[in-house]
Structure 1
Amino acid sequence: MNDAPRAPRVAFFGLLGSGNLGNHGSLDAMLAFVRTHHPEAELSCVCSDPEEFERQYGIPAVAITWYQAHGPGGSRLGSVARKVFGKAADLVRMPRLMRDYDIVIVPGMGVFETTLEVRPWGWPYALFLMSASARLAGAKTAFVSVGANVARERSLRRLYAGAARLASYRSFRDGYSRDAMRQMGLDTSADEVYPDLAFGLPEPAAAGRVERAERVVGLGVMAYRGTNSDRHRAEQILDEYTAKIVDFARRLVDQGYRIRLITGDPSDLVVVEAVYADLRRTRPDLVEKRVLSEPAETLGELMTQLAEVDLVVASRYHNVLSALKLSKPTVSISYGTKGDILLEQMRLAEFRQPIRGLDVDLLMEQVRALELRAPSIVSVMRERNAEYVADLERQYDVLSAALFGTTRSVVVTEQGA
């Protein structure tokens, strides 16, 4: 008779496989922790695009919802009918799915946020249903270094607080997120704050300043369309933001900078294309020499690109985080408090602007000031990054005890055996 304990069945849960590099960066960090310190675990994923996820990671995956698994109908009416049926079907499907796991991990991400458009019966409903189903199935659920803000809609507050309340473990990536969940009705007195998981990713080998004649700016763009309350003018918001980014890129080129365009989601390519189109029209002799854009499939690849720049101006949260992780002087064009917090923690609070009302003149002044202060800024950033890595290591010890019932073990190679 074999009395050996069964390997824990671990599922990662989130909006993964859709191409969002920030979400995948958090997953990559958590995946490395589980594989290194709990190699016996059987891994799988419940995500928004299982086919793409399996292609990237080689890990079995299933769709979060019935609708994602079966796809839209052949007409608008058919798609609406499928969505309605899917919500009911998920009440049966999700509990059955959760029976296959012992541990469900939500790895970082802004899972309790409303800084971008989110509908109650989409992601928030799926998140709550997962937590409730995992609790019924006896699986442990962990929200690890997640982000949050106070939702205006009562339905969102109830779904988010309910999902978090049912978890076995919770931690938040900053005090603002923890306080937001408290304001939404969750008792957070036992919850800890740890850095964003992406701060635990390894740095690329070339992460350092490369001496060159031309200065290089990493320009991180996003297809920003506002929040739930802006649905009626989402395209106008995107057009206004894009026009200012195009203006900024043109000024950088005129002042002798090279630009490396950075994205974080496939939707951001619309802004990249606008920058290229403008420069090909207005600066045809400079665009190919001064502007570079390459696709990145992972946050690690994006960091490799950022390692080659001198400073960064970015909008997406994880573009800003990646730059700070590499101790790159950074200006944040912020669409939420989370971006402001990152810069405050790095003592760069003066180098930020809200994405609404972006001032291009001020942005150019911030770039010049950042260059002048770069040497002193970088030393502070490196100290802070070392602290973040140590904090995340402490969280991994806590997670091992809370989820696996053990202290961390480490894979022993033949050489070290």
Structure 2
Amino acid sequence: MTRIGFFGILGSGNLGNDGSLDAVLSHVRERYPDAELGFLAMGPEQLTARYGAPATHLQWYEPHAGDATGLRAAGLKVLGKLLDPFRTLAWVRNYDVVIVPGMGVLEATLPLRPWALPYSLFWLGATARLTGTRVALVSAGADVVRKRATRWVITRAARLAHYRSYRDEHSRQAMARMGVDVSADAVFPDLAFGLADPEPRSSTGAVGVGVMAFHGGNDDRAHADEINRAYLSTVKRFVRLLADEGRPIRLFTGDVADDDVPAEIIAAVPGADITAEPLTSLQDLMRRMAEVDVVVATRYHNVLCALKTAKPTISLGYARKNDVLMSAMGLGEFCQSAREPDFDRLVAQFRELEDRREELTAVLKERNRVMSERLERQFAIMSESVVEGSRT
């Protein structure tokens, strides 16, 4: 029996990460129905409840921290970092293959410390080498990391993997610029392109707005509040404009960290036709997006889901990955930065998007077909070279 583990920030409220897991897990269960599955993740209880497979906390500190603060919390964190390599070894040795499904595990476009996920990923690779377990980084997101310590840990972790593929050429080149040999690494679409499409809906006139608790990235910590205010101010102005024109507005989020943002926007535009229903998965998000005509979004997987449902989209993005995705889908001209949003340009982009909606929808449908075919090729290669190769 093949034993397959899954690793990452999974089950903890990030829809994009969990959607990537859903996509690859669907393939694994179809191809290996008798496989023994397990998880090393941030939300093990949620994963066990959802998939019926055993799961272990990624970091010792999380379930043991309680309400600890100050020196006690610091001491527990240090203890956890000392214990985690041994815990990882004990978990890894139970599996033939460990899959890291997509996610931006090789980037630091949002605030990230080297002793957080990069540290865990490094020990996954190191212990897998000791036990003979194969690690596959599948359609991973990457970007050049400027912080020296974080970059060192991420590149070492990547080198320890037995298989690496990236969700775009930008990610592959970023790893090359950081000194990783990528000559054997392939580029395939983001795993979320492997999810089932929702039922199409007729036009409703509604506009989808994907919002985020955005405070900049690793290099923006000193200006985080200023960045957040500028971003939210622009989003609120845009929503107010839509409301003044009588448009129904549907707010979307992508992580539990964003949960307070819709309420703040709704409060800023009283009397508007705005809804913000809870979302539990990327499939749920895509079903809601199928009900709108166009989308403006910030989180990467909000943008991706809008494109996958063939909705003309504007990316008010926080990282290069958004721009790369939009260009790959034929909408590269409809991007701008969430760090320095330009309201007038956003309105102009929105007007053009609506004027060209029929044309852009056709482009997106064709690009989605190509993405789906390429992702099937990725799954075949992963199965042949990683999962089945682990048996030899």
Query: Which residue does the alignment assign to 2:100?
Result: 106
Q: Deviations for 1:200-225, whole angstroms, at most 9, x for unmatched residues?
A: 10001x224x134xx11110000001
Aligned residues: 390
- Determine whether 1:92 maps to 2:86: yes
Is 1:223 aligned with 2:196?
no
For the pair shown, which has the larger CA radius of gyration, 1 or 2? 1
SS at the partner of 2:278? coil
2:312 to 322, 325, 329: 329
Aligned partner letter, 1:277: A
Q: AA paired with 1:105?
A: I
Report the CA distance between 1:73 and its aligned residue.
Answer: 5.6
Deviation at 1:70, TM superposition (A): 2.0
Question: Which deviates further from its counterpart, 347-356 or 215-224?
Answer: 347-356
Distance 2:37 2:238 in 1: 44
Pair 1:136 & 2:119 matched: no
Q: Are 2:230 and 2:340, in contact at CA under 8 Å, matched by a contact in 1?
A: no
Distance 1:394 1:361, change over 3 A: same
State the identity as a percent: 47
Matched with 2:336 is 353
Secondary structure of the residue aligned to 2:7 is strand
Q: What residue is the counterpart of 2:191 in the other structure?
A: 197
Give the equivalent residue in structure 2 for 1:207.
Answer: 200
SS in 2 for 1:26: helix
Q: List per-residue Cα deviations over 1:221-277 (Å, max 9, x = no partner).
A: 000011122223323322221122111111111012110000001121222111111
Higher mean displacement: 312-321 or 131-140: 131-140
Partner of 2:7: 13
Aligned mates of 2:222, 2:321 — CA distance in 1: 25
Name the residue aligned to 2:141: 147
The equivalences for 1:216-365 within 5 A come to 216-280=206-270, 284=271, 287=272, 290-365=273-348
Q: Are 1:72 and 1:78, in contact at CA under 8 Å, matched by a contact in 2?
A: no
Query: Which AA in structure 1 matches 2:184?
Result: A
1:20-31 to 2 correspondence within 5 Å?
A: 20-31=14-25
Letter in structure 1 aligned against 2:11: G
> Which residue, out of 148, 159, 175, partners 1:165?
159
Indicate the residue corresponding to 2:73 in structure 1. Answer: 79
Deviation for aligned residue 1:9? 1.3
Amino acid of the residue matched to residue 228 of structure 2? L
Equivalent pair of 1:108/1:143 in contact (CA under 8 Å)? yes
Question: Hey, what's the Cα distance between the residues in 1 that align with 2:315 and 2:364?
Answer: 15
Partners in 2 of 1:374 and 1:402 — Cα distance? 42
Q: Where in structure 2 are there 5+ consecutive unaligned residues?
A: none
Closer, same or farther: CA 333–77 of 1 in aligned 2, 3 Å = same
C-alpha displacement of 1:33: 0.5
Q: Secondary structure at the match of 1:405?
A: helix
Report if aligned partners of 1:65, 1:90 keep a CA contact under 8 Å in 2.
yes
CA contact (8 A) 1:17 1:53 kept: yes
> Structure 1 residues 73, 372: CA separation in 2 closer, same or farther (over 3 Å shift)?
closer
SS of match in other structure, 1:148: coil
In 2, the alpha carbon distance for the partners of 1:59 and 1:294 equals 29
**CA distance in 2: counterparts of 1:375 and 1:352, whole angstroms:** 19
> Are the counterparts in 2 of residues 11 and 101 from structure 1 also a CA contact under 8 Å?
yes
Aligned amino acid, residue 15 of structure 2: L
Give the corresponding residue for 1:410: none
Q: Does 1:117 align with 2:111?
A: yes
Taking structure 1 as reference, are residues 363 and 156 closer, same or farther at Cα in structure 2, changes over 3 Å only? same
Report the alpha carbon displacement of residue 8 of structure 1 after superposing the two structures with TM: 1.4
Q: 1:372 aligns with which of 321, 344, 355?
A: 355
Aligned-partner SS, 1:121: coil
Query: 1:384-408 CA distances to partner (integer Å, 9 max, x unpaired)?
Result: 11111111111111111112227xx
Q: What are the within-5 Å matches in structure 2 for residues 395-414 of structure 1?
A: 395-405=378-388
Of stretches 223-232 and 248-257 in structure 1, the one that deviates more from structure 2 is 223-232
Aligned-residue CA RMSD (Å): 1.4
Give the letter aligned to residue 258 of structure 1: P
Q: Is the 8 A contact 1:9 1:103 kept in 2?
A: yes
Q: Which amino acid aligns with 1:342?
A: L
For residue 148 of structure 1, what is the amino acid of its counterpart? A
Do 1:72 and 1:82's aligned partners in 2 also have CA atoms closer than 8 Å? no
Provide the C-alpha distance between the structure 2 equivalents of 1:309 and 1:48, rounded to a whole number of angstroms: 33
The question of 1:41 aligning with 2:35 is answered yes
Q: State the distance in 2 between where 1:301 and 1:57 align.
A: 17
Secondary structure in 2 matching 1:100: coil
Give the residue type in structure 1 aligned to 2:236: V
Does the 8 Å CA contact 2:230/2:341 hold for their aligned counterparts? no
For the residues of structure 2 that align with 1:367 and 1:57, how far apart are their CA atoms?
Answer: 40
Query: Partners in 1 of 2:255 and 2:170 — Cα distance?
Result: 25
Matched, 1:385 2:368: yes
Query: How high is the TM-score relative to the length of structure 1?
Result: 0.91
- SS of the residue corresponding to residue 336 of structure 2 reads strand
